[in-house]
Amino acid sequence: MALLIRNGEIVTVGARVHGDIYVENETITQIGKNLEAPPDAEIIDATGKLVFPGFIDPHVHIYLPFMATFAKDTHETGSIAALIGGTTTYIEMCCPNRNDDALEGYQLWKSKAEGKSACDYAFHMSVTKFVKETESQLRQIVADGTASFKIFLAYKNFFGVDDGEMYQTQELAKRLGVIVTAHCENAELVARLQQKLLAEGKTGPEWHEPSRPESVEAEGTGRFATFLENTGATGYVVHLSSEKALRAALDAKSRGVKIHVESVLPHLLLDKSYAERPGVEGMKHVMSPPLRAKHNQAALWNALAAGSIDTIGTDHCPFDTKQKLLGKDSFVNIPNGIPGIEERVNLLYTHGVKRDRLDLDRFVDAASTRAAKLFGLFPRKGTIAVGSDADLVVYDPNYRGVVSAKAQHTNNDYNGFEGMPIEGRPSVVTVRGKVQVRDGKFVGERGRGKMLKREPTHF
Ligand code: URP
Ligand code: ZN
Ligand code: ZN
């Protein structure tokens, strides 16, 4: 069925116009004023609303065996939570560990999503070791449409790669035109500092941050960048949390290194005092890199506003209270991660745009367009243009609410952003022309989501 969205303020990077959007066969076919529609078309009145391109979360974990447990969402629950929050595409980290076969892992991750997600999705392929068969396996995975890699410099002996493996991954990525995303913390230093703190009897969640201080992240970021400088590959630092690490990335960029930066919602809005709360309340805010001292937030917001932080993702990774308590006797056993897929857009709009930290242009760019461009999805995704997929968010800037675990769709029993104000939310969300969400309710088709095949673009 055709769809006509009437009289909204259409916001894309570089343009804001009042008008109508007409959609047929999943695609935007006309943008203009006073567009006509056949009698059987679905009409949405967007008067007084903003119309954004569907938002893209470039960093989520849905299926994730990690730290003796599994992240809580499935593609059914995670995609519905994403859509209610205005995210119409997510890129999941496919994370087989060092003992797993990469190709089998890739097939497993794909099977978990296929026919289950209500929104479109893609994968970053984690390279967690580099052995004889790795190159041919990665070539097959890229040929299958997964044109980005992920490496972890942290998580020694599980996901983590050594410098030799990092070099081989970047070198292959350069030849294939594939971008390499990286979790940048020095694994050896983390392991040593964890042992030292535990030996001193420091076992609570408040010691997680001191076990992976800003210098450890800055070293990882700088080392990743130095390898990029010497392999010529393009890199993307995930979930950057601190001013020191930011400086390492931007120094490299100023030397001509092809490096991009993602930060994630927790590091913009929460600080390390959340992880210093007693007991399980602190554990709920344990993630890596850890929540930092508050002064880092201003540096991250400023870099985001200037465009030197490219994207805002979530690193969505829900573990419930019972799972967090696996670490009650030692912070090193607290499953690392926090959910956020449902809140990202509304919190970024509220605490960025509404609080004058971010203009609307940069908001759309950071939450949608830049990720589409970096990860080979543009202009199919990440913009509103004739020929683009009709992933559209009709956004009500007058909505008022608060984040609450009780109301969330993510499969978890707490929300790390509990009680934070929301000033705006999606009224209508479409995926390829089909209305999937109306006013906070999922009204669409489960399993509508498709895996997005992407071509390498970083030659
Ligand atoms: O704490 C985090 N970030 N958990 C998820 C795994 C990762 O490092 O992205
Ligand atoms: Zn990570
Ligand atoms: Zn992650």
pLDDT in tens, 150-206: 999 999 999 999 999 999 999 999 999 999 999 999 999 999 999 999 999 999 999
pLDDT given at position 1: 86
Quick: pLDDT tens for 260-310.
999 999 999 999 999 999 999 999 999 999 999 999 999 999 999 999 999
The whole-number pLDDT of residue 309 equals 99
Please give the number of the atom of ligand 1 that sits closest to the Cα of 287.
Answer: 1
CA 200 centroid distance within chain: 36
**151: phi then psi, degrees, rounded to nearest 5:** -125, 150
How many whole angstroms from 352 Cα to the centroid of ligand 2? 24
Residue with tokens 């590959």: 233
d(CA 281, CA 205): 9
Q: Please name every residue paired with 166 in a beta bridge, in sequence order, or none if there are none.
A: none
Nearest CA to ligand 1 atom 2: 337
Q: Is residue 97 a contact partner of residue 426, using CB atoms and an 8 Å limit?
A: no
Ligand 1 pocket test, candidate residues 267, 336, 338, 341, most atoms within 8 A of CB: 336
- Predicted TM-score of the model (pTM): 0.98
Q: Say how far apart CA 9 and CA 176 lie, in whole Å.
A: 40
- Reading the block at residue 363, the tokens are 């908001």
| CA-wise closest residue to 411 among 149, 103, 78 | 78
Q: Place 354 in a pLDDT band, splitting at 50, 70 and 90.
A: very high
Residues with CB under 6 A from ligand 1: 61, 183, 239, 287-288, 315, 317, 336-337
Q: Which two tokens stand for residue 21?
A: 């959007």
How far is the C-alpha of 340 from the C-alpha of 324, rounded, in Å? Answer: 16
CA–CA–CA angle 452, 32, 356 (5° rounding): 70
Specify the ligand 1 atom closest to the Cα of 95: 6
State the DSSP code for 254.
Answer: H
Q: pLDDT tens-digit profile of 365-400?
A: 999 999 999 999 999 999 999 999 999 999 999 999
Distance from Cα 158 to the centre of ligand 3, integer Å: 14
Cross-sheet strand order for the sheet of 87-94: 55-60, 87-94, 120-126, 148-152, 179-183, 235-237, 259-264, 311-313
If you measure from the C-alpha of residue 237 to the centroid of ligand 2, how many angstroms do you get, rounded to a whole number? 10
